[in-house]
Structure 1
Amino acid sequence: MAQFFDWLPDSPIVSFTILLLVTLTVPPIFERFRLPGLVGLLASGVVLGPDGLGLLNTDSETMKLLSDIGKIYLMFVAGLEIDLENFRKTKERSLGFGVATFIIPLIFGVILGKTFNFGWNTSILIGSLLASHTLLAFPIVSRLGVVGNEGVTVTIGATIFTDIAALLVLAICVSVHGGEFSAVSLAVQLATLVIYSVMVLLGFDWAGKQYFRRTGDEQSNQFLFVLLAVFLASVGAQIINVDKIVGAFLAGLAVNDVVGRSPVEEKIEFLGSALFIPFFFVDMGLILNVSGFISSLSSELLLTLGIVGALIISKFLAALTAKFLYHYDWNEILTMWSLSLPQVAATLAAALVGKNVGLITDSVFNSVIVLMLVTSILGPVLTAKFAPRLNVPSSLIQANTDQNIWHTDTENLHLGLELEEVDNTSKNCFNIVVPVCNPHTEKYLIEVGALLAHNQSGKVIPVSITKAHLNMDEPSLNTSLRQSKQLLRKASKIGQEFQAEVKPVIRIDDDVAQGICRVAREENASLIVMGWSKTDSFQARLFGNIIDSVFYSSHCPVAVMRLKKEPNNITRILVTVKNITSHSLRIIQFALLFANVNQAEITLLHVCLRGTPEGQVALFEAELASYLQNNPSNVEPVIKIIRNDDVVGTVSKKALSYDMVILSSIRRRTAGGLTVSNLTTEILNELDSSVVLFGEPNPV
């Protein structure tokens, strides 16, 4: 078989091309069978490696470079994705659970290592491999809307402690394995590590905030700054004889607050998840010796079972400790346990380091691979089982019931001025900004804006952005201005037909999305209504598009619409409600506002799994009904709950009887741009009716 590929040139470009092909095609195939995509990447490495087709070689300079970058990127993203805001809210309990879920698995690992006659250094490293965890199931709890549950928040916060502690133990074990161990050398190494960590965490945080403040919207330079930070930190770690993954993780924590949940962060993570991190997992498959793997599993089966069993039992005991300390209920404990099970990022990276320096044997490394495979499947499965049973904090519903969630906070922004002197009519008015650029979609969008504005005694603000850079006398600018005026004249005429106050705006700007958001902020808009465009293409995810940028930059909600009929002919509206969050309540309020214009019927559809406890369904319905009691509109929504495991099919079938479906936009944590969940994407592809994709700006 290898001779068949001899015609391929021996070039790094060939290896890179093969890696791109694998990354593009293999993970979706495995995910279709409900297996993690990273399992497919590992399998691809085995097939393409020396035990398979021999197309890739882990010892080549190309694979070494790409795999190292992937390993650094993996740990950097692990630090970048930690929610520091949630950690600060429950830092004492997060630290407490972090200590428990680190120390207990560490002790189990050390006992296991000594049981199999490994030295103290190796046994301690085995324990540290079990002590960290990867939040592989975070998208599940996020989609269920239970991130606000304290047990979930504490588990997320504990990741900071477990990952840092595990990497510190790795650094010490590698140093000790180097042969120059003494009490003095250990003290010097620890002191150097502490100084280096403080320099990275504080220095990069300060430098990042200064650079981002001075560069404003220059996302490309900010992107390069963050990349430079992570690789500088990795080089610095090597200088002090610590593995580069320690520096990468610290760099992720350092710039966490700097990039926030911004387009820069999304592009950084997308680059890693689309390219370099998959290359690392493919290289892990190349390193894996199939015959040795099978042999070690058969001859060292007890070691493999011991490592997997020790991890599962010790993580459960850690969660049980939290129950006694903080009095969580069983659903919270089981969810915390399932969230802390997956061993991917820090575990794999550290295991590879240990293998490369000869600190752990091939049998331990192979057992860690099995551990990763088992926990990356078991953890999310258990989370999906237990997390839906968590209680939604009642304070969330009460907080959103007691306030008008459409009003922004302009009245609280002083900026050195007395706002009482500003025109208060625009401050309290329900203003709707409608960007116009496409004559074919302009009519329906302006009609929606006019209907809503008229109903709320507000005004519709059609906005046309004319792009220009430095020269205001460019002939093309005059042409664009004429086109903008034509669009706005048409928009004004449509708005007046619906008896709405219209305030057309032309904005000259070098960035369309920023121009829209600036107008919305200046006019204190309550809502931005935009036309639909594809947001899930490769180009849109990597570089972003107008909708994506508006979503991130806007201070108010954004309704992206695909309208198939006249808005005033929409009389039946279906709203999908997955869980009760501030976002879902705002969507319901938008639907009520829209329905009140046409006296349309509204159905709030909640699709739950067949195995969902009856008490949980009843609680959900009661809480939703409680919120609707304060409904100020003349429309009485109908709550419909359906038990069915096929969510897409259920929503699509119900949508056939409705004129419009309102869905929630959900951004993935590890993909760039305004993306929606796979579930929402599937529903969108099935629907032929009018659709509203409702998105909110980043939380403050």
Structure 2
Amino acid sequence: MELIQALIIDNPLVAFTTLLLVSLTLPPLFEQLRLPGLVGLLVAGVLLGPSGIGLLDPDGEIEKLFSDIGKVYLMFVAALEIDLREFSRNRDRSMIFGGLTFAIPLSGGILLGRLTGLDWPSAVLIGSLLASHTLLAYPIVMRLGASRNEAVTVTVGATIFTDIAALLILAVCVAVQRGSFSPSMLALKLTVLGIYATAVLFGLDWVGKLYFRCTGDEQGNKFLFILLAVFLSAMGAQLIQVDKVIGAFLAGLAVNDVVGDGPVKEKVEFFGGVLFIPFFFVCMGLLLDVPVFLEALTDRLGLTVGIVLTLITTKFLAAAIAGLVFRYSWMQILTMWSLSLPQVAATLAAALVGLQVGLITPPIFNTVIVLMLVTSLLGSIATSHFASNLPRPHPETLVSDDNPWGEWLESDPATATPFTVVVPVANPLTQRYLIEMAALIANHEGGHIVPLTIAPARVHMDDAKLLKALSKGQKLLKAAESISHEWGAKATPKIRIDDDVAAGINRSAREQNAQLIVMGWSPTEGLRAKLFGTLIDSVFGATHCPVVVTRLRTEPVHMHRILIPVKILTPQTIRTIRFGQVFADTHQASIMLLHVSDRRTPKDQLQSFRASLRDVVQADPQIRHTIKCVRHDDPGTVILKASRHTDLVILRSMRRRTAGGLAVSDVTHQVLKGLTCSVMLFGEPYT
């Protein structure tokens, strides 16, 4: 028996394999049950830990390591996902609401803690746990098209204030608990912390930009630099005797501006979202003592209910005061309240630190877990209900958004460069349809196409493999030029030798001052694509112009019925519709705009959205169009059903976003897997 224990229970490899298996299988199962995936991870931790079969040990080296790494990574991702541009846009109001939604729950938590007999440090920590919030429901707001509403952007900006303030209070409480507290020591600690924060925020930003300039577009180096920055900042925090989660959060804010939105950020989030952060939630489950947890729901139910009600009440009070001061509607106020309810990232990280240093007891820790579960569910449900009733921005305000290439359809012929379409060709079996499509658009815009092949670079320019690639490229370009002439389009073939195919495409497009890149499909599934990215990801990550990725089943000129699903109206959505109109006009096709909304969407809001869509498409009244608005709980199914009667579906490329480190799927991904007709994916450069 001891041999079995040594081989299984005390084996780090077994623990690591178990964590991987749990992270892979349980979140999807719980999401099928309409429960957050992180609930499944917590349940797995309980079942595999001391309260269950004992396969994992919360005091084991591998478990402690991944718990610490996951905690650090969770706070880093929480900071990385904060939209600094939205914060700066409404900085004053974000600071006001941040102060209210921090101070009021903090006061309520302290009062509750003192009433239940906790000492001052523990009561203050309880208050700080309630004061922060996690934007768990933000993907819901984006899906509903309300992310540009001022109430939403103010709430997003307030996250910076609440999280930083909560972590500062955590640092003070830990210092008091360790007996190193005095007014002079507090002043010294805050001074050191201020110097450290300044060094991290400005130092990492400067070093990061300098390093990225020196290393170019090498994503591997960028990824490693970011990882080093996170854990170096966490170590620095420990050196000044504050918790490492503070360093991780500051590092996330520092590299937020440096890394921007792009493939590197996606890889950083993916790496943490599938590995470290799920491991952290499993390890949190290991710390749950089932009898004590049940006690929190029975004998200590009063404390549990008190904490939950205090949070709900104080968060609502903060949102109501801010909303009345800002003269927001009640729907905006309730949306602010529901967005600020979920307590996941900073709350759990701080609760774990408090448990480890003895600031909170296991029963209170279990109560915090209950708080997390309740607020995660309630916040998501409430946001879905209230945000759906927020007014949507008018199309005119979206079209006028400042962007470098937005209205490329309306460029002035007197000042604009000739319209150029770059078409990378690599497969002789699919290049005909690609060239035909590019020729149609180029002719419509009075421009030309640039068929392009990339030959992988070699050390020696007389390398046999390079010569073979050049020969193959020349044949492809000859065929492409011939097809272009068939359609009366001017073609300027280009062949390029480059170390990287995606970089070669982007550099050539920039050199040609292209307005559009048209390329064929490449695999987007599998672990390799997720870890190392795809050609499409890499092109999107560095291009300066729109990219259309195609999977064409028939000649473009025969695509007479075009379907464009529209979930929300944003500048990106309107540009996708504009592209569809241009392509339809090249061969007198018709377009259908399909909007699928939630069943609970009010009828007047649906009619308003239909009117907005009509305003968008009537910018070019010559193109035949229909608008269809449907209320249904499964947009993917509706789109796939409608696609059976169309020749082409045009979708907008959307990045997968994360919430609390766990990936959130999008309808585009579901539709792409089920479509049998031709499809075009209209993508834009990352900004």
Deviation of residue 669 (structure 1)?
2.8
Q: SS state of the match for residue 439, structure 1?
A: coil
Find the partner of 1:555 among 544, 547, 557.
544
Q: Spell out the pairing of 1:506-521 with structure 2 (5 A cutoff).
A: 506-521=495-510
Partner of 1:235 in structure 2? 235
Corresponding residue of 1:591? 580
Question: 1:12 matched to which residue of 2?
Answer: 12
1:636 aligns with: 624
- Of 417, 431, 437, the residue aligned with 2:426 is 437
Alpha-carbon deviation of 1:402? 12
The RMSD of aligned alpha carbons is 2.2
What's the CA shift for 1:81? 1.1
Question: Does structure 2 conserve the Cα–Cα contact (< 8 Å) formed by 1:51 and 1:290?
Answer: yes
Is the CA contact (8 Å cut-off) linking 1:200 and 1:233 kept in structure 2? yes
Letter in 1 for 2:106: L
Q: Unpaired segments of 5 or more residues in structure 2?
A: none
The residue correspondences of 1:125-274 to structure 2 (distance < 5 A) are 125-274=125-274
Distance 1:205 1:534, change over 3 A: same
Size of the alignment, in residue pairs?
A: 683
Q: Confirm or deny: 8 A CA contact 2:9 2:56 kept in the other structure.
A: no
CA distance in 1, matches of 2:155, 2:102: 12
Q: How much has 1:407 moved relative to structure 2?
A: 3.0
SS across alignment from 2:251: helix
Residue 663 of structure 1 aligns with an amino acid whose one-letter code is: L
Q: CA deviation at 1:2?
A: 11
- 1:419 corresponds in structure 2 to none
Find 2:649's aligned residue among 661, 685, 699.
661
Alignment match, 1:645:
633
Looking at structure 1, the residues matched to 411 and 226 of structure 2 have their Cα atoms a distance apart, in angstroms, of 32
Could you say what secondary structure the match of 2:531 adopts? helix
For the 8 Å contact 2:293–2:363, the answer to whether it is kept is: yes
Using the alignment, how far apart are the partners of 1:4 and 1:338 within structure 2?
49
The alpha carbon displacement at 1:686 in A equals 2.3
8 Å contact from structure 2 (residues 133, 340) kept in 1 = yes
The 8 Å contact of residues 133 and 347 in structure 2, kept in 1 or not, is answered as yes
Is residue 139–residue 668 contact of structure 1 (8 Å, CA) maintained in 2? no
SS at match of 1:631: coil
Matched, 1:487 2:488: no
Letter in 2 for 1:245: V
| Corresponding residue number in structure 2 for 1:421 | none
Q: Is residue 694 from structure 1 mapped to residue 672 from structure 2 by the alignment? A: no
- 1:274-289 matches, within 5 Å, as 274-289=274-289
- Once residues 296 and 670 of structure 1 are traced to their aligned partners in structure 2, the CA distance between those partners, rounded to angstroms, is 31
The corresponding residue for 2:485 is: 496
Aligned residues of 1:401 and 1:627 also touching (Cα < 8 A): no
Whether the aligned pair in 2 keeps the contact of 1:51 and 1:289 (CA below 8 Å) is yes
Q: Distance in 1 between matches of 2:300 and 2:410?
A: 63
Question: Is the 1:237–1:246 contact (alpha carbons within 8 Å) kept by the matching residues of 2?
Answer: yes
Distance 1:95 1:652 in 2: 44
2:406 alignment counterpart: 405
Task: Tell me the distance in 2 between the aligned counterparts of 1:315 and 1:443.
Answer: 59
2:442 is aligned, of 453, 456, 475, to 453
Per-residue CA distance 1:575-613 (angstroms, 9 max, x = gap): 101111111111111111111112111111111122111
Counterpart CA distance in 2 for 1:116 and 1:583 is 52
Q: Give the aligned partner of residue 290 of structure 1.
A: 290
Q: 1:426 to 1:475 in 2, by over 3 A?
A: farther
1:399 partner amino acid: S
Residues 51-90 of structure 1 mapped to structure 2, 5 A cutoff: 51-90=51-90
The 5-angstrom pairing of residues 282-681 of structure 1 reads: 282-394=282-394, 395-399=396-400, 405-407=406-408, 427-631=416-620, 634-670=622-658, 677-681=665-669
Q: How many Å separate the matches in 2 of 1:662 and 1:553? A: 22
Q: Offset of 1:409 from its aligned partner?
A: 13
Report the Cα offset of residue 685 of structure 1.
2.3
One-letter identity of the residue aligned with 1:371: L
Aligned mates of 1:508, 1:7 — CA distance in 2: 53
- Taking every aligned residue pair, what percent have the same amino acid on both sides? 55
> Partners in 2 of 1:494 and 1:586 — Cα distance?
28
Q: Structure 2 length normalisation: TM-score?
A: 0.96
C-alpha deviations, 1:194-233, integer Å up to 9, x for none?
A: 1111111111111111111111112212211111111111
Aligned-pair CA distance for 1:167 = 0.1
Q: What is the CA distance between 1:360 and its match in structure 2?
A: 0.6
Secondary structure, counterpart of 2:35 in structure 1: coil
Unmatched tracts of structure 1, length 5 or more: 412-423
DSSP 3-state at the match of 2:429? helix
TM-score calculated relative to the size of structure 1? 0.94
* Alpha-carbon contact 1:397-1:582 (below 8 Å) kept: yes
Kindly provide the CA deviation profile for residues 81-108 of structure 1, in whole angstroms up to 9, marking residues without a partner as x. Answer: 1111111111101101100110011011
3-state SS in 1 of match to 2:408:
coil
- On the 8 A contact 2:422/2:517 being kept in 1, the answer is yes
- CA–CA separation in structure 2 for the residues paired with 1:285 and 1:52: 11
**After TM superposition, what 4+ stretches of structure 1 lie above 4 angstroms from structure 2?**
1-7, 400-404, 408-411, 424-427
Query: Partner amino acid for 1:534?
Result: P
How far, CA to CA, are the matches of 2:616 and 2:592 in structure 1? Answer: 15
> What amino acid maps onto 1:592 in structure 2?
Q
String of CA shifts for 1:595-654, please: whole Å, max 9, x gaps. Answer: 11121111111111221112211211112212223216x313111111222212211111
Residue 383 of structure 1 aligns to which amino acid in structure 2?
T
Cα contact 1:513–1:549 (8 A) shared by 2: yes
CA offset digits 1:317-369 (Å, max 9, x no partner) = 11111111111112211111111111100000000000011101111111110
Whole-Å separation in 1 of the counterparts to 2:611 and 2:618: 11
Q: Whole-Å Cα distance in 2 between the matches of residues 677 and 668 of structure 1?
A: 6
Residue 498 (structure 1) shift: 0.7
1:505-524 deviation per Cα after TM superposition (whole angstroms, max 9, x unaligned): 11111111011111111112
In 2, the alpha carbon distance for the partners of 1:67 and 1:567 equals 53
Offset, 1:397: 3.5
8 Å CA contact 2:110, 2:127 repeated in 1: yes
Between the aligned partners of 2:161 and 2:678, the Cα distance in structure 1 is 47
**Which stretch shows the higher mean deviation, 317-326 or 682-691?**
682-691
Q: CA distance change for structure 1 residues 227 and 537 in 2, over 3 Å: closer, same or farther?
A: same
Write the distance in 1 (CA, Å) between the matches of 2:22 and 2:6. Answer: 20
Q: In 1, Cα distance between the equivalents of 2:370 and 2:504? A: 52
Give the 3-state SS of the residue equivalent to 1:255 in structure 2: helix
Give distance in 2, aligned partners of 1:645 and 1:401: 34
Residue equivalent to 1:414: none
Encode CA deviations 1:235-288: one digit per residue, 9 max, x unaligned.
111111101111111111111111111322211111111111111111000111
Residues 37/571 of structure 1: CA separation in 2 closer, same or farther (3 Å cut): same
How far residue 10 of structure 1 moved from its aligned partner, in angstroms, is: 3.5
